A and B are shown apart, each in its own frame.
Chain A
């Protein structure tokens, strides 16, 4: 028998979930630390992008993995918790404390998870303003872990931050209701099964996607392709179009990246359904009925053109996680020049500390799953678990 090994996994997105689950299968005890009130990370809120068939977007695999994790006895989940200090040595002594709510969440009365596998599903932030309280809700005050946990290894899986589109003021994000980012698009589609405009709840009829928002941007110093946004934009566009043949979709882009194994076939279908314009719009202006006017340059002749849309979706990219700097200092891991955590095949500069997922750079769900299996493999090797 192996002596019981303990591992801390920090971050409960698909990367952390996968690593925790795989380790738990080998009898390792896992403390899974999640800063927010819910497991699943970004991807638990995504919408299925199937049109006439599944397009392997991976959203439902995250659901699957979350379910497996919550059913596993040897994974202790600590929600609303983050690390405050670490003592590295033969073991790692990690001090944990309750994390702060985000500014938006502080204003809420009740927070709800995205999946029925979120346990708890509802977290009460403010009892007074809550109105009716769903059964099984947990008060926010009951979440969070304070104290020290000693573990044999640590896995960092703190994920990414989506680009804050308000940095590019010409795109008027947050200024106009109907300019939304990719995450909001996912959410609206997931919750309603349709694409409804935030301004009036009406179904959008003519939409534009703008690619590479925040990525591949020399001026911002973001010299990387986020790898996932062409994929989510095109797959979302086609799945919407499949349900509503009348929908008019335009994609403004620089280069279209491959979206999967069947890309050549998929891209041909996209070309039938979607208007592709190889140019990145200069400006977005308000128009009548909360519509938006996009001004861009026509590639063929270099002349300016205007077109009105009733919804604009910004394909925001994958940026280093907000906590990357802090966490790499705490744990003694390196940061690369872009701000992602450096990894050499799941290992880091710090012995006994491993890293996986988008904490290390852009990747889609299926790649993150493979990386996390790799991380689990490396951790088991390090711990000598057989």
Chain B
């Protein structure tokens, strides 16, 4: 093992509630921290874990780790209710300002609307509950809440809800939003107890707000060379990233940059990030892993394929050849199976050793079923199935791979050329791949091979792509049994 020295300064992107808390925690660990006020202050990022170079207004600066700490913004949902704001129709935020400044005098009845403009969440709900309680403090005010699903899945909310009701607030739980006149002076709704249409004439209508991820997330993801999730957040919704990881080493995602959360969760997250940073940066020396991808510069044709397909941002350019950053490489092998020049080998899973594994499948079986099993899912499930007395057929020969994305089309063809009855590629479920898209690549390759097999007259049903979770011995057994029965 070689040890190298890394930079231990930390860059926090976003002077948000979470950003400032993270900065404080990390400072307590005796690392230098720089906080950027907004993601826009980051003009570019190069380099790798332990050795990032960020372009800032003040010039270039080195960091060992980066923390993204963007926030949500709130947007009132007037439109979803076909309303426009006026002095009788206001947003939740504006209502909170009114309460704070004691400006509700004379208001007799207040209607809150929540859960019809959006599904909602406990954060939105809590604000309504709190506002209701504030109103209950005033004399002669009647709060009415029209709500679809009460989002109470957070500490203390059910109690807060009950408190408001005990103090006289009236809740209408409806599946459809009430009819509201344009000026907000009249509401028509279906009463669940009376089972008839009722009318209400409020003095004030308070409209819910939705939380929208920071719009700068898109550019930030691009600068950091990480993927942005469908919902605009900086962490893919993948359990392998829990709690604060991204696909790239040394880049963390904190608090509201990864999901909507309350202040308690934000405080928790700041500690989590601190822990992970401490784990990564340590005392500034780090062991370089040996079992990583290695590129043969002589073979490399500089086609950029590996750079594009590496899920962990571990490949860079140096003097006309692609190079792997050993600290960042997570040894998934996706690059190796995509490289058109076969220029990349993974230390622990060289082509030569996988080929000899394929040979071994034929040692005691003329027409085995060769199965490439991802070590993160199928291989685990298979070991479990054998241990738990599921009878895996003798002819089923598993070969462990680091990720289904490592399965080269050549491996599958080789197995067939030796006379395999069938070939299976068993991967993680979509959205559960440790290397983001290894399972998707594997699936594409299998589909591609199916069409090629048809051309040479091999039944395409003899190749299988299937997904499974590591803990599902029973599911894996079902898949294996069905496939072996079909091809044998």
Contacts and interface: CB of A to CB of B under 8 A. Distances in A.
B97 interface: no
A55 B237 CA distance: 9
A26 B283 CA distance: 12
Contacts of A378: 271
Contact of B153 (A254, A257, A301): A257
A370 B265 CA distance: 9
10 contacts: A64-B470, A193-B474, A225-B153, A255-B152, A258-B119, A258-B122, A261-B237, A262-B231, A366-B242, A373-B276
Interface stretch (A44-52, A89-97, A163-171, A198-206): A44-52
A16 interface: no
A377 B274 contact: yes
B469 A48 contact: yes
A193 B275 contact: no
A58 interface: yes
Contact of B239 (A52, A362, A366, A371): A366
Given A302-B195, A377-B274, A380-B275, A56 B239 contact: yes
B149 A48 contact: no
A361 B25 CA distance: 25
Given A22-B275, A48-B475, A301-B195, A255 B159 contact: no
B487 interface: no
Interface in B48-84: none
A56 B158 contact: no
Interface in A51-110: 52-56, 58-64, 67
Given A216-B152, A225-B153, A376-B275, 20 more contacts: A46-B471, A47-B472, A53-B431, A54-B432, A54-B469, A56-B431, A59-B469, A115-B384, A116-B383, A190-B471, A224-B156, A230-B153, A254-B150, A256-B149, A258-B151, A261-B237, A261-B259, A262-B230, A370-B265, A377-B275
A241 interface: no
Which size class do A's interface residues fall under? 35 or more
A223 interface: yes
Contacts of A345: 267-268, 271
Contacts of A377: 25, 271-272, 274-275, 278
Nearest to B259: A261
Interface in B129-144: none
Contacts of A192: 474
Given A54-B430, A193-B472, A60 B272 contact: no
A371 B268 contact: yes
B441 to A, nearest CB: 16
B44 interface: no
B240 to A, nearest CB: 8
A256 B120 CA distance: 11
B242 A257 contact: no
B151 A370 contact: no
Interface string B23-46: 001001110000000000000000
A264 interface: yes
Contact of B269 (A56, A302, A370): A370
A60 B470 contact: yes
B16 interface: no
Contacts of B118: 264
A299 interface: yes
A278 to B, nearest CB: 7
Contacts of A190: 471-472, 474
Nearest to B477: A193
A121 B388 CA distance: 10
B231 A374 contact: no
Contacts of A304: none
B285 interface: no
B478 A193 contact: yes
A370 B261 CA distance: 12
B162 A218 contact: yes
Contacts of B153: 225, 227, 230, 257-258
A255 B267 CA distance: 28
A259 B428 CA distance: 21
A144 B237 CA distance: 40
A116 B121 contact: no
Interface string B375-405: 0010010011001100000000000000000
Nearest to A114: B471
Nearest 3 Cβ contacts at the A-B interface? A48-B469, A193-B474, A54-B432
B311 to A, nearest CB: 16
A361 B269 CA distance: 18
Contacts of A193: 472, 474-475, 477-478
A17 interface: no
B471 A115 contact: yes
B233 interface: yes
